[in-house]
Amino acid sequence: MQNMQNAINGASLGGKIKVSTVHSMAVLGQSDPPSSGLFSPSYQPALKGLLQFHKDNGSPFAINPYPFFAYQSDSRPETLAFCLFQPNAGRVDSGNGIKYMNMFDAQVDSVHSALSAMGFKDVEIMVAETGWPYSGDSNEVGPSIENAKAYNGNLIAHLKSMVGTPLMPGKSVDTYLFALYDEDLKPGPGSERAFGLYKSDLSMTYDVGISKSSQTPPTPKTPVTPQPKPTATGWCVPKAGISDAQLQSSLDYACGQGIDCSPIQPGGACFEPNTVASHAAYAMNLYYQNSAKNPWNCDFSQTATLTSQNPTYNNCIYPGGST
């Protein structure tokens, strides 16, 4: 790494090209709870020099967190929701009392804690790989197109929200999805050959919402007169007293289901006030309005409720009301 950095500096590209190397989560000797994250003692001597290199050059420490593997070792339904950024009860870090609403944040923060414990808390973290397989062997738990689409889609929504992690709030960790295409000759369980968003024939395995075609606005269709419903549907809004962590989980879930969350992105009509509660309210309602409008479509693990009061404000229009 030092030789490569010297070559980059010699080519007057220092600061423009960063040098790093990738680590699996096995580099941690302790990761649960996240606040107790520590590097394995056997790796610490080598890591000390490597982390000093990162600090001196402003380059990131690269890690490969895979909530999929965490779920495989604990396949309870609540663990799946926690790993897929779906509404869940959350998990409290016994070391600092912080409630985590997804496994990705917990894994990344455990690395942050390990960096801090070695005196390198200012070294940035980069996620060099993360993903979820869409298929696997019959004895594997977790692989499916539904789960893969949920994980990658909700991860993208979480990163775009810029909420960050509990220990690194307000910023998005640079993250690379694994993988663009299947590695169809890779040995091991069937899931190892099924992480690709695309297949080797260039066909899309499933649409996670980042391809150019999936971002193209649909062709307007001739309006269809809606069939009357027997009751007023109203608007779906968060209940009072719900924590930001729970609302963030609901926000990530809603925006990961294909709705248009651009109004709550910077510059959007509903970006201000820039709070989790306000953004979650817009996203939860939009998800509900695009659903079958059953009561359970406005549940979000009992964090939301229906109201007859229109929450529209200024130029931020909330769709909904009586139908």
Active site residues: 129, 183, 186, 192
In Å, the largest CA–CA distance within the chain is 73
Write the CB contacts of 85 (distance below 8 Å, at least 6 apart in sequence). 101, 102, 104, 150, 151, 154, 155, 157, 158, 249, 252, 253, 256
Angle, in degrees to the nearest 10, between helices 276-289 and 244-255 = 40
Question: What is the amino acid identity at position 259?
Answer: I
Cα distances (Å, whole numbers) of residue 40 to 25, 29, 47, 65: 10, 4, 10, 16
What is the distance between the alpha carbons of residues 91 and 219, in angstroms, rounded to a whole number?
43
Taken as a whole, the chain contains a residue count of 323
Find where tokens 């030092």 sit. Answer: 2
The H-assigned helical ranges of the chain are: 2-10, 44-57, 67-72, 77-83, 103-117, 145-160, 244-255, 276-289
Q: Check the CA dihedral 131-132-134-137 and report its sign.
A: positive
Whether omega for the bond prior to residue 263 falls within 30 degrees of 0, making it cis, is: no
SS3 label, residue 238: strand
Cα distances (Å, whole numbers) of residue 95 to 91, 113, 165, 285: 12, 11, 16, 35
Cα distances (Å, whole numbers) of residue 287 to 71, 267, 280: 27, 21, 10
